[in-house]
A and B are shown apart, each in its own frame.
Chain A
């Protein structure tokens, strides 16, 4: 089953491995990122980054659809990880019955981003993708780790 669908522009990193996978008892991570999936070195590094009791692999959006559908049907607890909400919108087109919850985690401060909080910064095109996701029935919320207060899209949409 898919336990969590999450955007995090660093993909697999300390917070993800220490907190997110443990709190959610994750045993399988599906990273969806065209750039990483087609770069052999990056792909190896991310696959090596997880402990041996967990499985992680990196896919392009196209490759990921059947893998996500399979994970939705089996018993392993799966985390779907992507760099930004634009990928989520692509997945809505590719994956039937994709979970309609999107957790936006850490997003780096880049030229043109607006902060939702100091750790979560959103580009205009990412905000547009969130609007599309919401209009298609997804619950989009911002939160780095579960201990922190969850920020709803409704609370911050006026910023974009």
Chain B
């Protein structure tokens, strides 16, 4: 089992966590940390560190998912985990998190797990033209 930590501005991380728990059932080793107005970078980094330390003590691997590359949740996480062999994934979204949660038990190779999750998350992005696509569908 790989620990999952979702980091974002405001309530997005909590929302992704709640949505994933609603779809998959309550998940263990799954945390979210929101960065709110007035929050301080070091303090946020410490929250990240607190959770990753907990996983390290249990000898568990973990993955950090952040909303935006180069933004505070990313910066704070990257600073907090500098010099460690950790993985931070940027541009978190629900399909990506669902894929990782569903496959994290079967995979000891974190990089392979992430490669598949990112590929499937890309596949899940589509533009459906409600007029054309749905009408084509009915002709099939």
Q: List chain A positions with a Cβ less than 8 A from chain B.
A: 14-15, 18-19, 22, 40-41, 43-45, 47-48, 51, 144-145, 147-148
Contact = CB atoms under 8 A, between A and B. Distances in A.
A92 B25 CA distance: 31
Contacts of B135: 44
Interface of B: 22-25, 98, 102, 123, 128, 133-135, 137-138, 140
Which of B133, B134, B140 has the most C-beta atoms of chain A within 10 angstroms of its own C-beta? B134
A14 B128 CA distance: 17
A44 B130 CA distance: 10
5 contacts: A18-B24, A19-B23, A22-B102, A47-B140, A144-B25
A14 B133 CA distance: 20
A15 B23 contact: yes
Contacts of B133: 48
Given A18-B98, A47-B140, A147-B24, 6 more contacts: A18-B24, A19-B102, A44-B134, A44-B138, A48-B128, A145-B24
Q: Among the interface residues B24, B102, B140, which one has the most CB atoms of the partner chain A within 10 A?
A: B24
Nearest to A52: B123
Is chain B's interface secondary structure helix, strand, loop, or mixed overall? Answer: helix
B25 A41 contact: no
B134 A48 contact: yes
Given A45-B134, A48-B134, A18 B102 contact: yes
Nearest to A13: B23
Contacts of A47: 137-138, 140
Contacts of A22: 102
A144 to B, nearest CB: 7
A147 B20 CA distance: 13
A130 B54 CA distance: 46
Contacts of B22: 15
Contacts of A40: 138
B52 to A, nearest CB: 25
Nearest to A149: B25
A148 B135 CA distance: 38
Contacts of B137: 44, 47-48
